[in-house]
A and B are shown apart, each in its own frame.
Chain A
Amino acid sequence: MAGYGDVKLLRDDGLRLDGRKLDEMRPVTIEAGILPAADGSAMVTQGLNVAVAAVYGPMEAHPRKIQRQDRAVIDVRYNMAPFSTSDRIRPGFNRRSREISKVTAEALESVVLVERYPRSKIRVEIEILAAEAGTRCAGLTAAAVALADAGIPMRDLLVGVASGKVEDIVVLDLDKAEDNYGQADLPVGILPNTGEVAFLQMDGDLSPDEFNLAMEYNFKAAAEIHVIMVDALKRRYEGGEK
Chain B
Amino acid sequence: MSRAETAVPGVRWRWTFGLFRSELLTTLRRWRTLALLGVLVAVPVLIGVAVRIETGGGAPGGGGGGEGPAFISQVTNNGLFLVFAALAATLPFFLPMAVAVVAGDAVAGEASAGTLRYLLVAPAGRTRLLLTKYATVLAFCLVATLAVAVSALTVGALLFPLGDLTTISGTRIGFAEGLVRALLIALVVAASLVGVAALGLFVSTLTNSGIAAMATTVGLLITVQILDHIPQLHALHPYFFSHYWLSFADLMREPVYWENLTRNLGLQALYAAVFGSAAWARFTAKDITS
A binds B: no
Residues of B within 8 A of A (CB): none
